[in-house]
Chain A
Amino acid sequence: MTSMGLEARIEDYLAGRMPHASDLRVSGLARISGGASRETYRFRLSWQESGALQSRALILRRDPPASLIDTERRIEFEAYRAFFGSTVPVPEMLWLEESSGALDHPFFIAAEIEGFQAAPALLWTEPYLAAHEKLAERKWTILGEIGRSDPAVLGLTTVMAAVAPEACWSRELGYWEGVLDDDQTEPLPITRAAIRWLRANPPPPPERLAVVHGDYRTGNFLFDQTGEIHGVLDWEMAHLGDPLEDLGWSLNPVWTFGRDLAGGLVPNAQAVAIWERSSGLKADPAALQWWTLFNCVKGQAIWVSSARAWIDGGNREPIMVYPPWALQNAQDRAILKVMGHL
């Protein structure tokens, strides 16, 4: 690790990536709180080019020493790039660095979409309360558009692992059960019962294979006061699979924020109807229940991993304690609810 400040190291790195620029300056570097799987910073880059002073607001997403989600940042980077300029709004990706030399850990730099909000807590205050219907319409319409897009046309079949339609459910369940096996810090009788039910009642293959965002929920997109969405963020768990998987994650009861509404916004049936209209797909109720319960198990695996990363000492940030303390029991209650026991 070098003793240079992060600003100077970013300037050095970008000087090598911007051969026509000179006098690069990083200013206003600030960590954005909330990111537990990547360290996220906002900063402004200014530079001289063609005799003029230029400036741009940028985002740095850097791998932390230990994360609650182990993901490939190239897949995240390419997923953003694939949807840039489409009806699915995403920030523009600029540089990806997969080595650890420049900033100690792999990272990417993207353009910042300025002037909008992501924090769910704002949604329960004025003037956002009046925008819930519109926001829900946009939220599940965009998710439907992700589900109807062709991964091959997007160029994502070359970077994301292939999966046979009939294996979508078993690959995902096997992966997250493995995470629980590796990372659990105490027995989880409710989550284990859910896994047994999921294995005994598998869903049918998807109507079509799609790009699955993997973390599509209120809190992972940028919104304004009118309910418009300006950027879908956090593609780090993106993969190929059943589009119902994303719909199920968006209906995970932990994302109701205590309001008993999908994403804290509208009743589940309304969210599903918007998604069906946009995606052109049918959300079979039994299959959707399976994917919603699966996502409760996945959520639990993520919260447990967070506890494990803290306990093992790899990451002692307080954000790593919050998920297991605040969400692990809520996730168990979500499982009980989806299974009809609560």
Chain B
Amino acid sequence: MKPDISEVLIELSALVARNAAPDIPPADRAGALGLTAALLAIAGRQWDEAAHNLALENRSIRSLLTIPGEDLDIRISTLSAENARLRALLIERHVEVEGRDSRAEAEIWAELVASTARRLAPGSPV
């Protein structure tokens, strides 16, 4: 998820601190804090699931592309970088099989559908 959660949380802490000042116009404060609350809710959900989902997805894509490897460093930044590398390879593979190998294509679409289920944010409109 971009921008990175950790960087956004640091920025939001500064925003909340600025809005604690007594001279902030109420409309500005309401706008800033309302959005902050929505972002914290998304970050809160991701806090528990992010590493698990990235590791799960990386394993799934490696299996699909028959690429060896495993995630030994489970920091979210490392898992995300590996996820980006694998999803770039998935795009290449998708292009290769499109219109040529319907079974491989269906497997890729199934993985892509699953990837959006893993990333579902609270209150997602779709």
In the complex, whether B62 has a CB less than 8 A from a CB of chain A is no
- Inter-chain CA distance A327–B119, complex, in Å, is 11
Q: Is the CB of B42 within 8 A of A33?
A: no
The proximity string for A residues 237-250 relative to B, scoring 1 for CB distances below 8 Å and 0 otherwise, is 00000000000000
Residues of A within 8 A of B125 (CB): 253-258, 327, 330
In the complex, whether B109 has a CB less than 8 A from a CB of chain A is yes
Residues of B within 8 A of A190 (CB): 112, 115-116
In the complex, whether A154 has a CB less than 8 A from a CB of chain B is no
Interface of A is mostly: helix
The proximity string for A residues 184-195 relative to B, scoring 1 for CB distances below 8 Å and 0 otherwise, is 011101101100
Residues of B within 8 A of A311 (CB): 2-3
Given contacts A30-B28, A311-B3, A326-B42, contact A192 B116 (CB under 8 A): no
- Inter-chain CA distance A316–B119, complex, in Å, is 23
Residue of A nearest to B99 (CB): A200
Nearest-CB distance from B50 to chain A (Å)? 12
Residue of B nearest to A337 (CB): B126
Residues of B within 8 A of A192 (CB): 91, 94
Q: Is the CB of B30 within 8 A of A33?
A: yes
Q: Is the CB of B25 within 8 A of A326?
A: no
Residues of B within 8 A of A324 (CB): 1-3
Residues of B within 8 A of A316 (CB): 11
Given contacts A187-B84, A187-B87, contact A326 B2 (CB under 8 A): no
Q: Is the CB of B121 within 8 A of A189?
A: no
In the complex, whether B98 has a CB less than 8 A from a CB of chain A is yes
Q: Is the CB of B39 within 8 A of A318?
A: yes
In the complex, whether B31 has a CB less than 8 A from a CB of chain A is yes
19 intermolecular pairs with C-beta atoms under 8 Å apart: A30-B25, A30-B27, A185-B3, A187-B90, A192-B94, A253-B125, A254-B126, A256-B126, A258-B123, A258-B125, A316-B11, A318-B36, A324-B3, A329-B121, A332-B116, A332-B119, A333-B116, A336-B116, A341-B112
- B interface with A by C-beta (< 8 Å): 1-3, 8, 11-12, 15, 25, 27-28, 30-32, 34-36, 38-39, 42, 80, 83-84, 87-88, 90-91, 94-95, 98, 108-109, 112-113, 115-116, 119-121, 123-126
With A311-B3, A318-B36 given, name 8 new contacts (CB 8 A). Answer: A30-B27, A186-B2, A253-B125, A257-B125, A326-B123, A332-B112, A332-B116, A332-B119
